[in-house]
Structure 1
């Protein structure tokens, strides 16, 4: 690895670990083998002496740029797990969802091991299912931003060897299927200090992210250091209110910050795709409950529920809750701003509700990605 990149990796590790001494990431199931792996892992998270932000090198780690605009997002294919799937559930200040089915392959509970094997994407007019590499070849994107890793976490070990090996195999399969797109690897998002699954640690997240930088440098991929905007340097964990009550899934506030970061750390390289592109099928999305085993949550326990307000109002009540399947959430009330009236709730799981105060019952078929309830408002005529 070149010296400037070695320095970049070290700088990233400093940023990712933040004030690591403030964490309490003890792993109850650690063994002598995991301890030995942690001691010999390459690369390992570097303890921080300060909370200085990353000074991104031109090259692998994407530096700050001018805002590339909404068009940059629309021409990017986002691939990942349940946090990527959440990009479909939230809207910006104009009421436009951050992504659509046309540029999102987000699969709840998916890890890097399923990139080449899981048939997860459907297209309209066909019952066939396609793996991520095959779907990328059919969608023919200019670039992809891919983020896997949360569902590969297990504790505090800093040995990322198997994770990186499997991730690289997936990325190379995508390259083989569609060699004309730029591949940008997004950092694993930070966890909340108050997380439902306390076995998950930022020690491992930091080590895996540092290993991702090295993988990107060695294989010509770009790295989006999105942890820079999602993480609290003072604590080393996710910023306040940036995750749901489970401490893993990103909130609307976090997703909004993430997309601002994507647009201001853009990689607008020359379009290398052969022209004309030809016919591109219309995506039908990822089927619900495609993976029925959640690798990081206490399965059968609780599902994250988030209440959000569209433009024109606010909410009263606990807006992030964990609710058992079939259980009822604490009531939340939609409160319109002056000049607006309440126009009903819509649920990401389907259905709409007309009462301003809602006590939502979690569907039995809800998956680990959870449900988002959006309060809608309209101008008062």
Structure 2
């Protein structure tokens, strides 16, 4: 029984479309797009919370209201007001200046032992002139036992270490871990620590370094540049009053227009100095040198072998990002750097949770160079090739992890040694070479230069009879230079060098000898 229900035009078109051979692939593609769209929406709201993903592993950042009102010039140190205390520009003092200096400080000071000048794998400092303690503040300078020496059963404080190491000068840099401290309290603690150093070893010049600037997009927005400026202004005033020198390194690290750290001068956390930041800092240190008469008692005492700072000495991070319910974030900065001879591809500065995995970074060698391997300040890179996906160790601290890719120059292809060419044959001289007879004559044969005054007649002029000599020598004898031979011996006829092609036969009783034959 036929149905009386009318079919809409769009239904007829749909049926016609479905009956075509290409209908099935088209429907499959449409269904696939719908499924992908649904999955993306689910991930967006359940995993990311509706926020864009961050490939670098850093936390999302939003500008605090206080940042918008920050004045880049209002709170900065007035250099002219503290002339004589603030170190002025000098000629580059070089590496020797650094080697004579002991650097004291927090985690940023630790980084001085990781980085070096561009194109040089040697770091700016070593454990022999660097005491940096992660998460340390000014309140612990005089009391925290941190430095270890061979032959000592326990660690010593920074002032005690200065006395043992006898540096010509000290450059000290604290304050990053004290940004939440009251300014007056901060200065009182700093004064106490500096006084302890001076009392322990009064022969070393003391230079106080400025607190480095923050990056505007920092992980912990509770830290502000207003606080940094306030503490630095208080530090330079303290130096003026106490007789210390002030190193205004902020001039090298800050963007003069914004007042914040220059781009790429900090890690992803916006606090710790990056490789670029440390290099700029040391360029400033060497060109704002303070060199006075060396008054240290001589000879210097022998310095025991340095073992360095006790690892994981401070477990809490006073400037870490605070998460929900005030809990400290478990994320730490991870930085990828490389030696001379290559570049890196990927996010070279990341914030990654302890136990978490970094996004992949690849070491790319330059032409003529080859990749050697990775090295980590803590943790293991395993047998990773050029591409590294690193897992952050659970014991990582606020200083984070630094991963370095190393390259080396390829050896040049050996060049083939050319075959030696044959030595040319000597060209005959005008004089004919002497001909050596196969058998020496019984009697000595005179050399042409030693011939007697009487000439020997030419073969062409020789008579059939024995050749008569014009002098006293008998016809049958050839005179010898020293002694005449016995009459019974045969006479030797010496032909001229210009012997014709067919010489005349020699007379009987004579022996023909080639001209110039050696005796």
Match of 1:103 in 2: 129
- Structure 2 residue matching 1:78: 3-state secondary structure: strand
Match of 1:262 in 2: 285
- Residue from 293, 296, 311 that aligns with 2:319: 296
1:59-98 Cα shifts (integer Å, max 9, x gaps) = 1100010000011011100000000011111122221111
List alignment gaps of at least 5 residues for structure 1.
Answer: 1-22, 28-44
- With structure 1 as the length reference, what TM-score do the two structures score? 0.85
- Residue from 328, 331, 339 that aligns with 1:310: 339
Match of 2:161 in 1: 135
Q: Report the CA distance between 1:349 and its aligned residue.
A: 1.1
Q: Report the CA distance between 1:354 and its aligned residue.
A: 4.2
Q: Contact conserved, 1:25 with 1:202, CA < 8 A, in 2?
A: no
- Residue from 324, 345, 368 that aligns with 1:339: 368
Larger CA Rg, structure 1 vs 2: 2
Match of 1:112 in 2: 138
Q: Report the CA distance between 1:49 and its aligned residue.
A: 6.8
List alignment gaps of at least 5 residues for structure 2.
Answer: 1-62, 322-327, 412-519
- Residue from 26, 49, 66 that aligns with 2:66: 26
1:72 is aligned to 2:102: no
Q: Report the CA distance between 1:374 and its aligned residue.
A: 0.5
1:211-268 Cα shifts (integer Å, max 9, x gaps) = 1110000010000000000001111110001110111000000000000000000001
258-267 vs 118-127, greater mean Cα deviation: 118-127
Q: Report the CA distance between 1:160 and its aligned residue.
A: 1.4
Q: Report the CA distance between 1:301 and its aligned residue.
A: 1.9
Q: Contact conserved, 1:347 with 1:374, CA < 8 A, in 2?
A: yes
Match of 1:87 in 2: 112
Q: Contact conserved, 1:124 with 1:282, CA < 8 A, in 2?
A: yes
Q: Distance in 2 between matches of 1:112 and 1:194?
A: 26
Q: Contact conserved, 2:77 with 2:232, CA < 8 A, in 1?
A: no
Summarize the Cα distance change of 1:272–1:56 in structure 2 as closer, same or farther, 3 Å threshold.
farther
Q: CA RMSD in A?
A: 2.1
User: Across the two proteins, how many residue pairs are aligned to each other?
Assistant: 339
1:372 is aligned to 2:412: no
Higher relative contact order (CA 8 A, sep 6+): 1
Q: Distance in 2 between matches of 1:315 and 1:56?
A: 45
Match of 2:273 in 1: 250
Q: Distance in 1 between matches of 2:230 and 2:76?
A: 17
Match of 2:179 in 1: 153
Q: Distance in 2 between matches of 1:354 and 1:328?
A: 14
Q: Counterparts in 2 of 1:326-365, with a 5 A limit?
A: 326-349=355-378, 351-352=380-381, 353-365=383-395
Q: Distance in 2 between matches of 1:69 and 1:103?
A: 15
Q: Contact conserved, 1:56 with 1:63, CA < 8 A, in 2?
A: no
Q: Distance in 2 between matches of 1:229 and 1:364?
A: 35
Q: Counterparts in 2 of 1:170-185, with a 5 A limit?
A: 170-185=193-208
1:283-338 Cα shifts (integer Å, max 9, x gaps) = 11112210011111033420100000111111000000011111000000000111
Summarize the Cα distance change of 1:380–1:91 in structure 2 as closer, same or farther, 3 Å threshold.
same
Q: Contact conserved, 1:54 with 1:228, CA < 8 A, in 2?
A: no
Q: Contact conserved, 1:56 with 1:62, CA < 8 A, in 2?
A: no
Q: Contact conserved, 2:346 with 2:360, CA < 8 A, in 1?
A: yes
1:279 is aligned to 2:319: no
Q: Report the CA distance between 1:48 and its aligned residue.
A: 2.8
- With structure 2 as the length reference, what TM-score do the two structures score? 0.63
Match of 2:240 in 1: 217
Summarize the Cα distance change of 1:276–1:221 in structure 2 as closer, same or farther, 3 Å threshold.
same
- Structure 2 residue matching 1:211: 3-state secondary structure: helix
Structure with more of its chain in strand, by fraction: 1
